[in-house]
Copies of this chain bind each other. A is one copy, B any other.
């Protein structure tokens, strides 16, 4: 066979197809052989571009995390900073729930990830929070985001869906149930964020009055 002048694969093309497979069939639905097949190539070819499957997944994770917005920590309102960060973070995970387990284990590119963590921490400290509190607020906001995302992720494993589909044979109903669960998740997240930030504000006042 004649060698084509241009490479068959690129990292971007591999990522794109891999993410589509994960979205459609979950993390276990992605295999290097099947991915290669969809890209019209043999499995070992992928290893010319990514050293391992894990490296590929974390590269995708980095791509997704780039939409997380920490810009509001530049302003004077620390609560607004947390809110924008938490919402954009959650949105990034909710767009690809099957990727959540990978995203939870941390992105591969440490520099950009550390830069984000530094923006959060720096913003909180500039707003007058003691460093230790800044760390804890950053950590617990992450808990809220990750936990909410895990909830959407795990919904993919519920066999309840089948039960409901049997009970209500109209597909609309099943979709409505899924939509309703997503809505409860969204509302619960917003309520939790409100209560959490409200409680922190009170804590902040107590700290200042001391």
Contact = CB atoms under 8 A, between A and B. Distances in A.
A179 interface: no
Interface bracket on A: 35 or more
A143 B194 CA distance: 14
Determine which residue in A104, A139, A147, A189 has the highest number of CB atoms from chain B within 10 A of its CB, and name it.
A147
B188 A154 contact: no
A187 interface: yes
21 contacts: A101-B101, A104-B150, A104-B154, A105-B153, A135-B184, A136-B187, A136-B188, A139-B188, A140-B148, A140-B191, A143-B146, A143-B150, A143-B188, A143-B189, A144-B144, A146-B150, A195-B198, A196-B199, A197-B199, A199-B200, A202-B202
A203 interface: yes
Given A101-B101, A142-B151, A144-B140, A135 B200 contact: no
A154 B192 contact: no
A102 to B, nearest CB: 10
A192 B188 CA distance: 15
A210 to B, nearest CB: 16
A169 interface: no
Contacts of A140: 144, 148, 188-189, 191-192, 195
A59 to B, nearest CB: 15
A209 interface: no
A187 to B, nearest CB: 6
Contact of A148 (B135, B143, B198): B143
A153 B104 contact: yes
B150 A150 contact: yes
Contacts of A133: 191
A87 to B, nearest CB: 14
Interface in A169-210: 184-185, 187-189, 191-192, 194-200, 202-203
A7 to B, nearest CB: 30
